[in-house]
C-alpha cells in the first residue's frame, strides 16, 4: 500500500511568488492535514480537509490556503511568499475524520524562499 | 505562546538503558496526548498515545505516563536500542463534543541519541 506522497520534495521560490504543494493521501483516507515545521519550531497545524471541505485551520494568515479534490488529494497554496515561510511542510492523512492516532505523514516538501 | 513544551532539545542514552523523554503542556483543555517519532528525511510516525482519563499506557518497550495535576507526560523506552535514535515529538489534542478534533499541537521535539 502506498503511503502519503508529497510533491515536490524540494521547492525554491522567490519572495512574493506563489508556491503550490501537493499531497496524495493513503488510498481510502478521506481526511488530509497540513503542518508547517519551521526551523527550531514544532509542527504547526495549518489546515484540515475532509470530504472536500475545509474543517479547520490553524493560526496562519489567509495567504495560506488549499483545497481537497474529489479523489481526496490536496493542494496547499502559499501566496505572496515571505522569507519566514521557508519550512518543511508535512501532509498527513487519516481514515476517519479527526482520528489523530491514525495519522500517516508524508515525507514533506522543503520550501525555501529566497 | 507554546502550549506543548519539550524542554530538552536532545538526550543521549546508552544502549540497553532507559530513555525518558519529557513533555509539559499548559492548556488544561487537552484531553488526548500522543508521541510521534521522526527519522531524518521521513515524516513523523505515530508511536503511542494516552487519554486524559488514564495515567499510564504501555506498548512493548514504550510506556507513556500522564500526570494531569502537573500537566506533564513522559515517554519511557526500555531497553533503549540503536534504532530508537530519532526525534520524538509530543503532541496534544482537544476533542470537541461535536465530533472530530482540532489539529494536533506539537512540541519542538527531542533528539534522542542511543550510544552503543
Question: For A50, which residue in chain B has the nearest alpha carbon?
Answer: B100
pLDDT tens column, B23-75: 999 999 898 899 999 998 889 999 999 999 999 999 999 999 999 999 999 99
Looking at residues B74-93, what average pLDDT do you find?
A: 96
d(CA A104, CA A113): 27
Mean residue pLDDT of chain A comes to 92
Residues of B in contact with A106 (CB under 8 A): 43
Report yes or no: A43 and B45 within 8 Å, Cβ to Cβ. Answer: no
Choose from A38, A43, A54 for mutation: most chain B CBs within 10 A: A43
- What pLDDT score does A41 carry? 81
Q: Torsion-angle region of residue A104: left (phi > 0), alpha (psi -120 to 50) or beta?
A: beta
Cβ-Cβ contacts under 8 Å between A and B: the total is 66
pLDDT tops 50 at residue B98: no
Nearest alpha carbon to residue B30 among B5, B62, B57: B5
pLDDT tens column, B102-116: 678 899 999 999 999
Q: How many residues does chain A have?
A: 114
Distance to chain B for A92, nearest Cα, Å: 9
Nearest to A98 among B43, B100, B108 (CB): B100
Of the pLDDT bands very low, low, confident and very high (cuts 50, 70, 90), residue A99 is: low
The answer to whether the Cβ–Cβ distance between A98 and B104 falls below 8 Å is no
Of the pLDDT bands very low, low, confident and very high (cuts 50, 70, 90), residue A39 is: confident
Of the pLDDT bands very low, low, confident and very high (cuts 50, 70, 90), residue B96 is: low
The answer to whether the Cβ–Cβ distance between B99 and A40 falls below 8 Å is no
- What pLDDT score does A2 carry? 73
Residues facing residue A49 across a β-bridge: A32, A54
Distance to chain B for A104, nearest Cα, Å: 7
- What pLDDT score does B48 carry? 95
**Mind giving me the DSSP string for chain A?**
----EEE-SEEEE-TT--EEEEEEPPTT--EEEEEEE-TTS-EEEEEEEETTEEEEE-S--TTEEEEE-TTS-EEEEE-S--GGG-EEEEEEEESSTT-STT-EE---EEEEE-
pLDDT tops 90 at residue B93: no
- Geometric angle at alpha carbon B84, from B109 and A90, rounded to 5°: 45
Looking at residues A44-68, what average pLDDT do you find?
A: 92
**Between A76 and A43, the higher pLDDT residue:** A76
Residues of A in contact with B40 (CB under 8 A): none
Amino acid at each position: 500500500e502506498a503511503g502519503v506522497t508529497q510533491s515536490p520534495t524540494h521547492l525554491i521560490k522567490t519572495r512574493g511568488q506563489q508556491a503550490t504543494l501537493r499531497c496524495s493521501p493513503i488510498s481510502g483516507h478521506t481526511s488530509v492535514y497540513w503542518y508547517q515545521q519551521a526551523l527550531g519550531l514544532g509542527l504547526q497545524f495549518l489546515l484540515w480537509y475532509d470530504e472536500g471541505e475545509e474543517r479547520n485551520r490553524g493560526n496562519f494568515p489567509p495567504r495560506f490556503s488549499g483545497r481537497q479534490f474529489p479523489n481526496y488529494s490536496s493542494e496547499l497554496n502559499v501566496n505572496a511568499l515571505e522569507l519566514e515561510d521557508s519550512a518543511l511542510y508535512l501532509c498527513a492523512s487519516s481514515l476517519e475524520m479527526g482520528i489523530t492516532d491514525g495519522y500517516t505523514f508524508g515525507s514533506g516538501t522543503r520550501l525555501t524562499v529566497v | 505562546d507554546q502550549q506543548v513544551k519539550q524542554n530538552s532539545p536532545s538526550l543521549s542514552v546508552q544502549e540497553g538503558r532507559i530513555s525518558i523523554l519529557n513533555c509539559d503542556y499548559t492548556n488544561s483543555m487537552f484531553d488526548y496526548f500522543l508521541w510521534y517519532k521522526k527519522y531524518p528525511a521521513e515524516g513523523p510516525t505515530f508511536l503511542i498515545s494516552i487519554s486524559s482519563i488514564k495515567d499510564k499506557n504501555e506498548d512493548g518497550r514504550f510506556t507513556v505516563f500522564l500526570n494531569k495535576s502537573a500537566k506533564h507526560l513522559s515517554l519511557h523506552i526500555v531497553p533503549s536500542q540503536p534504532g530508537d535514535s530519532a526525534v520524538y515529538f509530543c503532541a496534544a489534542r482537544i476533542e470537541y463534543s461535536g465530533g472530530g478534533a482540532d489539529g494536533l499541537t506539537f512540541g519542538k521535539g527531542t533528539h534522542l541519541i542511543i550510544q552503543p
